[in-house]
Chains A and B, each alone.
Chain A
C-alpha cells in the first residue's frame, strides 16, 4: 500500500514533461553555462577587494646572509660584486619587494610583515586572507642550497578557507611569484663568478594550503553542487503542489476513506521526495562525472550527505503540504517554488559564493538547508573528512527533524473533517 503511494507519485512526476525539464534538464544546462561563463572569474581574475596578506618571518635575513658568507669554505671565493648581487636578491626581501612595490600588486594585495608572532595567533584572529610563514633559517638554507646543492627550503602559505575565490587568486599569485623568482635567481646567477663553478638555482617550494588544508575547487565542481542543491529544493515545491492537487480533486477523500493514516500519507510524501532527489542527484552527478571528470571517489561521504539533505527536502515537502492543506490553497508550495527557493539559493551560495561578501552572510548561508549541503559537498570535494562534514550533517539533521515535526503538527488532524 505504501509502495502504491510511491509508485503513483513517481509515475505522475515522470509523466509531466515540464517537471522533468525543470528538475533534470534545467540544472544540467545551468551547470554547463555557469561552469564555462563564470569559470574565469572563479579561476582568478575578478574585481576583488584587496587581499590581506601577512608575512611572518621568524629569522633575521641580513644576519643569516652575513653568517653564510663568512662561513663559506676557503675554496669558494666571491668577489664584492657577486656578494652585492646576492645581497640584493635575498629571497624574503625580494618576496616582500615584489609584493609591495608593483602598482598593480598594491591594488590587489596589502602585505603586513609580522615579527615575533606565532602562526596560530595570526590564523586565529582571522584578519588575513593569506598568511605566509617563513621558517627561522629559511635564508640560510636557501643560500646553502644555492652553494652546496643542498635540499631546498620551503615556506608555507596558509589560505583562509572561507574565502574560496580569494584563495584561488592568491594561489595563482604565489605560483606566479615562484616562477618570477626562479627566473630572477637564474639571471643574477649569471653575474656570479664563483671559480667557474656554476651554481644550481634554488627553487623555493611553497606549499599552498588553505587553513584547513583543503584543496581549491574549480567552477564546474562549484556549480555542479550549487545547482544540484538548488534544484533539489524544487522537488519539495513540486511534490507539495501535487499533493494539494490530491486534496483539490477529492482524491484525498478517497485516500482517507481507504483508511490511510495521515502519518502514512505524509510519510509517503517524504519518502517520494527522498527517492526522487536521490535520482536527481544521480543524474546530475553522473553528468558532471562524465563531462567534467569530477571525482566522486569518496562516494560514501557524498551518499551520506545526499541522504541527509534529501531527508530535509522530504521534510520541506511535507511541511509545505501541511500548510497547503491547512490553508486550503496551493499558496505555500507556489510561494516556495517561485520565491523562497531563489532566496535560499542566494543565501546558500548557489549563484555565487556568498561568503566572499561577508562572514555574516556566510553564517546565514550555513543555516539554509541548501547552503549547508553545498558547503558539505564542497568540503568533500576539497578532501575534507567525515569530521569536517559533521557541522553540516548536524545542521541538516536538525532542520529535517524540525520541518518534519512542524509538518505533522500542522497537518489538519481529522483530514477531511474540518
Chain B
C-alpha cells in the first residue's frame, strides 16, 4: 500500500499541495480528479519520489520512502503529463531503451514490446520516429512506456489528453483489463469525469491544493443524495424568468445558458407549480424538463460552486 500523509508542497509563494492525505491499495484503481492547477501533478510527483514534499510523508507498506526512494521506485510505473519520449527514436527503440534501463531481460523485453505496441495500437508504426507521430500517438506511446515493465502501481497523470475518443476508449479498456488481469493498481488523474467514473473504485477530488471529497463513487455522490439536478429547456431565453428563479429560496446552483437552465433542488420538494407559474408570468414556453441523479460533475459544482471545466 502506498500512502501520503499530510503532504504539502510550497513553491515560493504558491501552496500547490496543502495537507493531502490519500492511499492506494494493491489492485485497486483510484481516481484523482480536479481542475487545472488543483495540485494533482504536484501530488503525483511527490508520490512518485520525483520531488520532495515541503511537509508530510510518503509511505510504502507503512515505511517512509523519503530518505530512500529506491523501493518505491521499484514498484512504480509513471505516465507523466508531458510526453517523456525521445523524439529521434522510433516507438520500438523508445520501448527498448526504457525497458533496458529497467533491466528487463532481452527476450522478455521483446515479447513485452510486441504486447504493449498492440495494446496502445501502434503495432503498425513501430518504425516511425516519434517526432513524426501525431499528438495522440505520442500520448499512447507515453502510456506504453510506463506499463512496459508491468509495475505493481501505475500512476497516470492525465494520460488521455488529446487522444481521439476511439483510442481513448481502447486505452481505458486496456487499463481496466490490466488492472483486472495482472492486478496492477492504478492512480488515474484526470479532469474527465466519465473516465474516472468508468475506471475507478475510489475517487479523490482536489481543488486548490486540497482534497475536498473522497470515497467510493457512491459515497461521493451521496453528498448530493438529498438533492436532484433539474434541466429545463425553454423555447427562447428570458432574463426575467432566470431572475425570478434566482429569487426562489428552494433552488440552488442555478446555471443559465441560452435557453437551457440547470438547478438543484432538495428531494421531495414540489417545485413544479412554482416553475409553471413563473413560465406563465414571464410568457415563457417550456420545451422540456428533466430530473437527474447527480454526477461527479454536480458534486464538484456543489463543493466548489464552480464547474470543473469551463
Contact = CB atoms under 8 A, between A and B. Distances in A.
A414 B53 CA distance: 13
A74 B264 CA distance: 142
Contacts of B121: none
A256 interface: yes
Contacts of A259: 70, 73-74
A254 B78 contact: yes
Contact of B84 (A7, A11, A16, A249): A249
B88 A12 contact: yes
Contacts of A256: 49-50, 73
Interface in A1-50: 1, 3-5, 7-8, 11-12, 15-16
A364 to B, nearest CB: 39
A294 to B, nearest CB: 34
A52 interface: no
A297 interface: no
Given A16-B88, A249-B83, A4 B49 contact: no
Nearest to A249: B84
Nearest to B83: A249
B88 A253 contact: no
B51 A416 contact: yes
Interface stretch (B91-99, B196-204, B212-220): B91-99
Contact of B86 (A12, A257, A260, A416): A12
Contacts of A8: 86, 89, 93, 97
Interface string B53-74: 0000000000000000110011
A250 B79 CA distance: 10
A19 to B, nearest CB: 10
B309 interface: no
Given A1-B101, A4-B101, A259-B74, A251 B50 contact: no
A4 B96 contact: yes
Given A16-B88, A257-B76, A11 B93 contact: yes
Between B45, B100, B101, B103, the greatest number of chain A beta carbons within 10 A of the residue's beta carbon is seen for B101
A76 interface: no
B123 interface: no
B238 to A, nearest CB: 51
A251 B51 contact: no
A417 B69 contact: yes
Contacts of A260: 101
A120 interface: no
B52 A418 contact: yes
B84 A250 contact: yes
A4 B84 contact: no
A257 B65 CA distance: 13
B84 A251 contact: yes
B49 A15 contact: no
A254 B102 CA distance: 10
Given A12-B86, A16-B88, A250 B80 contact: yes
B190 interface: no
Contact of B73 (A16, A249, A250, A257): A257
B43 interface: no
A253 B50 contact: yes
B10 to A, nearest CB: 12
A258 interface: yes
Contacts of B96: 4
A119 interface: no
Nearest to A255: B101
Given A249-B83, A250-B84, A257 B97 contact: no
A251 B85 contact: yes
Interface in A99-118: none
A258 B102 contact: yes
Contacts of B145: 254
Contact of B98 (A249, A250, A258): A258
Nearest to B82: A250
Contacts of A7: 97
Contacts of B102: 258
A257 B101 CA distance: 10
A416 B101 contact: no
A250 B157 CA distance: 13
A5 B97 CA distance: 7
Contacts of A16: 88
A416 B50 contact: yes
A414 B52 contact: yes
A178 to B, nearest CB: 61
B78 to A, nearest CB: 6
B229 interface: no
B8 interface: no
Interface in B185-229: none
B48 interface: yes
Interface in A334-363: none
Contact of A1 (B52, B85, B100): B100
Interface string B15-53: 000000000000000000000000000000100111110
A417 B83 contact: no
A3 B78 CA distance: 23
Interface in B97-140: 97-98, 100-103, 129
24 contacts: A1-B101, A3-B100, A4-B100, A8-B86, A16-B88, A251-B84, A251-B86, A253-B80, A253-B84, A254-B80, A254-B84, A254-B145, A256-B49, A256-B50, A257-B49, A257-B76, A258-B73, A259-B74, A414-B52, A414-B69, A416-B49, A416-B51, A417-B52, A418-B52
Interface of A: 1, 3-5, 7-8, 11-12, 15-16, 249-251, 253-260, 414, 416-418
Given A4-B101, A256-B50, A416-B51, 9 more contacts: A249-B83, A250-B82, A253-B80, A254-B84, A256-B49, A258-B73, A258-B101, A416-B50, A418-B51
Closest 4 CB pairs of A and B: A4-B100, A416-B50, A250-B84, A258-B101
